[in-house]
Amino acid sequence: MSRLRCAILDDYFNLALDVADWQKLSDRVDVTVFSHPFASERAAASALADFEIICAMRERTAFPGPLFESLPKLKLLLTSGMRNAAIDLETARARGIVIGGTQYSRDPTAPLTMGLILELTRGIGRENARMHAGEPWQTFAGVEIEGMTLGIVGLGKLGSKMAGIAKAFGMNVIAWSPNLTPEKCAGAGVGYATKVELFAKADIVTIHVVLSERSRGLVSREDLARMKPTAFLVNTARGPIVDEQALLEALQQRRIAGAGLDVFSVEPLPVEHPFRKLDNLVLTPHLGYATKDGLGIHYSQMVEAIDAFTEGGELPRRLA
């Protein structure tokens, strides 16, 4: 096989080449790293036209059908994770492009979720910034989460992990999702609630469902309106699951106490976005899965997949 070109996309941290053994492929593959997001689909098509292999990081770069049609040399597309809503799998299959994924050893998103909850309720980050800026002593009186009710939307693997962490902090936990049953809640040691009950009763609502056409807009304007004025919303799942315009208005009008967001409908979040101007909103740039440990696993498994593909073997984790 002639030498192939591999593009590693959206390596914001410049870690990809350090955390995996890409030298294993050096006799067959030339690797190019793209550290910054493409400005448009046209820019992506232009930059990637000569690559046979692409390694994508989650949904940072979308691959709709028209982009695939602009990449005539593409043979293998790898994504971190075992699902990626931003990839048009049907078009990829039709064009004979092989799609592969990677797995996690563990998911660090639940601890980040608790970090956002603690920032919202105790102001650790903002008070740290004030101390470093030489400003006067305390200005933020926090609230205690022990005894509060955490409402979890989605009680899968991640939601269940979040429930365990919350209970360790002394929180009461209730959960809801479209297919959740009281029996499953009982098995996880949490209370079952209807959607209406969860948004009305919870002191903090946290989102842990997968983005799909079914879950897009799942947290609606009406749901936000049911929340207590003292309640917080945390989203570390995917931005489009929440009606962002409705959330923006609720925060601007202080109809809820605040929110913590790690994910957004458009990423990176535009510099001029009104979310950036709110003092009752904690923002992080999609840090949920972004640890050196996790990225090392993703990139190592991508090397493994490319090695198998270029040697004519089966992909360890094929998606299409």
- The residues carrying an active-site annotation are 238, 267, 286
Q: CA–CA separation, 122 vs 142, rounded Å?
A: 4
Contact 33, 6 (CB under 8 A): no
φ, ψ for residue 278 (rounded to 5)?
A: -95, 135
Q: CA–CA separation, 7 vs 77, rounded Å?
A: 10
Q: CA–CA separation, 284 vs 236, rounded Å?
A: 9
Residue where the block lists tokens 């003092």: 279
The helix (run of H) or strand (run of E) holding residue 176 is strand 172-176
Q: CA–CA separation, 186 vs 166, rounded Å?
A: 16
Q: CA–CA separation, 81 vs 299, rounded Å?
A: 11
Category of 23 on φ-ψ map: left (φ > 0), alpha (ψ -120 to 50) or beta = alpha
